[in-house]
Chains A and B, each alone.
Chain A
Amino acid sequence: MTSVTAGSLPRASARPAAPPSPWVRWGTVLAALPWLALSVATRRLPETGDFPYSLVFANGTGLLGLLLLTGLPVAHGLGRVGARLRHWAPWIGVLGLAFLAWELVTAKLELLPMPFFPPPQAILEVFLDDWARLGHSTFNSLVLLAGGYAIGAAVGFVLGVAIGWSRAVGYWAHPILRFVGPLPATAWLPLAFFVFPSSWSASTFLVALATGFPVTVLTWSGVAGVNKAYFDVARTLGASGTFLVLRVAVPAALPHVFVGLFMGLGGSFAVLVVAEMLGVKAGLGWYLQWAQGWAAYANMYAALIVMALMCSSLISLLFRLRDRLLAWQKGLVQW
């Protein structure tokens, strides 16, 4: 418990933007150099294969290098974007070095076997030529995931609250959850595709199942673990049963619920990919398998990149939601 003296509530202090020392200021420029080197190397060194987008790639990285070269020294004056740019400058530089190494060992020196390890410009080619299919697959994945996750999270939450609150519901639900819950959702796959009218509804069910189990269990344990004194206080103050559930039990259990939501999201990604590969024949999982079938390895890497972006964005979104709903926890626990 921290105590606060009158009138001085802790407030997020806006970090004062002190001008960087010349050393830091010019040090950040180093981040631009690998990108310029990459551009020159791509353009000038002979290639071992035929890559139609080498020039585009060289121009793009060159442009990026020039932007960094001019932007980084004045980043201090660019406000929030500039502050971020300066913060990430070391990463940008190292990433440029990694791209340079990648370019050299694939397209230029062919130290890695070619069809399996395409150079960056081959992946750029996929993004530029096959964006429609890739985009459509991403959209399909998102729709399937959103539907299944929403159903699973909602059902899991309601079920978890009911089990945690009501002895009768707990009596019936507990053994079922114990017995069926630990089964990985993918194990239901053959049965689901056989029972459900469409492979899409079957996949939605599987994603919902993978989400619902952790959400149920964590919500339940959260509700069951609520400090009993919280209920005593509310009861003496005239609270109804509904108030006790919605205004006491649920907010008190919310940190647990979010742990369940995070676990469920992770589980739903795994199920999504498998379901798409084996069932719905659409979405990024299907794209991956399709690319592998055609030995189109560049497409596979591109799909993996898109998938990583999608999953990490969704996780970030959930973090945002948690930070918003559980802001009160900030002073209590280590985030």
Chain B
Amino acid sequence: MVAALPRWAALRRPLRARPPAADPAPEGARGAELSVEDVSHAFQINGAPLPVLDRISLSVAPGGFVALLGPSGCGKSTLLRLAAGLEPADDGRLVLDGERIDRPDPSRLLVFQDPTLYPWRTVRGNVAVGLEARGLLAQRRGRIDEALGLVGLSAFAEAHPHQLSGGMQQRTALARALVNDPRLLLLDEPLGKLDALTRLALQDELVRLWRRSGFTALLVTHDVEEALVLAERVVVLSDRPARIRAEIRVEAPYPRRRDDPELVRLRSHILNILGHAA
């Protein structure tokens, strides 16, 4: 990982140098292009293979936002773990900006469904983990406060995770990823366990962070509306083993209104594909 650092470090532009949040001009330059090429994957369960992904191909443009929508257990998390480099794919390739993904790297970060914060570290300590692990803490300490500010947790920097609400924990997990300036952010149902109101707020926040930071985003969700509010493109997956059933472009401009007629129309379209009358 350290060996990959110089290339990665040269490409990243510090958040500080960007225009303030008031100017929401999207920046695509930092995001990397992800392509998933003909990927199949299976797990062994009691000696029998359990096929989970079946020849998935999709690509996300630099700075793009794609949502993966599919029934639970179909293999969405598995696809994200492959993209994060946590496991090798059985078949096919995953490529980031022309480079094959074969191990974890801080340029591609995964935000898990559970915030998985370290309970023995404060919020600040948790956000610092990535910089600390790569020996960049002294250089970029300021980035931590910046990231905490971005997710609205400056006042809780010294709190421990158990003192936070679920939404605050998830925002900490987001800050922990953002502080590393990822070029690809993989989001595995990051808002799945939150209450409805917190979820709406964090969806808006996610759009804002994405537009401001310019990373490429691949979001897994089982919430059709969430996919439509956030993503430029929604990829609908089938039951296990996951295959791509449909890809829907969402043209509505950001920030989106949930009652936008276009989104409402797409919503019933997608629900139809998933086999539910809207």
If A2-B162, A3-B164 touch, whether A227 touches B120 (CB-CB below 8 Å) is no
Majority-rule SS of B interface residues: loop
Are A251 and B164 closer than 8 Å at their CB atoms?
Answer: no
Q: A244 to nearest B CB, angstroms?
A: 9
Q: How far is the CA of A331 from the CA of B84 in the complex (A)?
A: 33
Interface segment, one of B35-43, B102-110, B246-254, B255-263? B102-110
Q: How far is the CA of A241 from the CA of B160 in the complex (A)?
A: 25
Are B159 and A4 closer than 8 Å at their CB atoms?
Answer: yes
Which 10 residue pairs spanning A and B have beta carbons closest together?
Answer: A3-B165, A237-B130, A239-B133, A238-B106, A236-B104, A235-B104, A238-B134, A238-B1, A331-B162, A328-B120
Which residues of chain A are near B104, meaning CB under 8 Å? 235-236, 238
Are B166 and A1 closer than 8 Å at their CB atoms?
Answer: yes
Map CB proximity to B onto A1-22 as digits: 1 under 8 Å, 0 otherwise. Answer: 1111011011000000000000
Most chain B CB atoms below 10 A, which of A7, A236, A243: A236
Interface residues of A in 308-335 (CB under 8 A from B): 326, 328-329, 331-332
Are A251 and B133 closer than 8 Å at their CB atoms?
Answer: no
Map CB proximity to B onto A240-264 as digits: 1 under 8 Å, 0 otherwise. Answer: 1001000110011010000000000
Are B109 and A237 closer than 8 Å at their CB atoms?
Answer: yes
Chain A, residue nearest B109 (CB): A236
Chain A, residue nearest B105 (CB): A238
Interface segment, one of B18-26, B111-119, B203-211, B235-243? B111-119
Tell me if B2 counts as interface (CB < 8 A to partner A).
yes
Known: A237-B109, A238-B2; 19 extra A-B contacts, CB below 8 A, are A1-B166, A7-B155, A9-B156, A9-B163, A227-B116, A229-B112, A229-B116, A230-B116, A236-B84, A236-B86, A237-B134, A238-B104, A238-B134, A239-B129, A247-B132, A251-B118, A254-B120, A326-B120, A329-B119
If A6-B155, A7-B155, A229-B116 touch, whether A234 touches B133 (CB-CB below 8 Å) is yes
Map CB proximity to A onto B144-162 as digits: 1 under 8 Å, 0 otherwise. Answer: 0000000000011011101
Which residues of chain B are near A230, meaning CB under 8 Å? 116, 118
Which residues of chain A are near B119, meaning CB under 8 Å? 328-329, 332
Interface residues of B in 86-130 (CB under 8 A from A): 86, 104-106, 108-110, 112, 114, 116, 118-121, 129-130
Q: List 9 A-B contacts (CB under 8 A).
A: A3-B165, A4-B156, A229-B116, A232-B110, A236-B86, A237-B130, A238-B105, A251-B118, A328-B119
Which residues of chain B are near A112, meaning CB under 8 Å? none
Tell me if A233 counts as interface (CB < 8 A to partner B).
yes
Q: How far is the CA of A335 from the CA of B113 in the complex (A)?
A: 30
Count how many chain B residues have C-beta atoms less than 8 Å from C-beta atoms of the other chain: 37
Are B120 and A238 closer than 8 Å at their CB atoms?
Answer: no
Chain A, residue nearest B133 (CB): A239
Are A1 and B129 closer than 8 Å at their CB atoms?
Answer: no
Which residues of chain B are near A238, meaning CB under 8 Å? 1-2, 104-106, 130, 133-134, 180
Which residues of chain A are near B118, meaning CB under 8 Å? 230, 248, 251-252
**Among A237, A247, A252, A326, contact of B180 (Cβ-Cβ < 8 Å):** A237
Are B120 and A236 closer than 8 Å at their CB atoms?
Answer: no
Are B162 and A233 closer than 8 Å at their CB atoms?
Answer: no
Q: B16 to nearest A CB, angstroms?
A: 21
Q: How far is the CA of A44 from the CA of B203 in the complex (A)?
A: 85
Tell me if B143 counts as interface (CB < 8 A to partner A).
no
Q: How far is the CA of A328 from the CA of B158 in the complex (A)?
A: 11
Q: How far is the CA of A114 from the CA of B81 in the complex (A)?
A: 78
Tell me if B171 counts as interface (CB < 8 A to partner A).
no
Are B106 and A236 closer than 8 Å at their CB atoms?
Answer: yes
Are A2 and B116 closer than 8 Å at their CB atoms?
Answer: no
Which residues of chain A are near B109, meaning CB under 8 Å? 236-237
Are B162 and A1 closer than 8 Å at their CB atoms?
Answer: yes
Interface residues of A in 205-238 (CB under 8 A from B): 227, 229-230, 232-238
Tell me if B176 counts as interface (CB < 8 A to partner A).
yes
Are A4 and B164 closer than 8 Å at their CB atoms?
Answer: yes
Which residues of chain B are near A6, meaning CB under 8 Å? 155
Are A10 and B133 closer than 8 Å at their CB atoms?
Answer: no
Are B163 and A2 closer than 8 Å at their CB atoms?
Answer: yes
Q: A326 to nearest B CB, angstroms?
A: 8
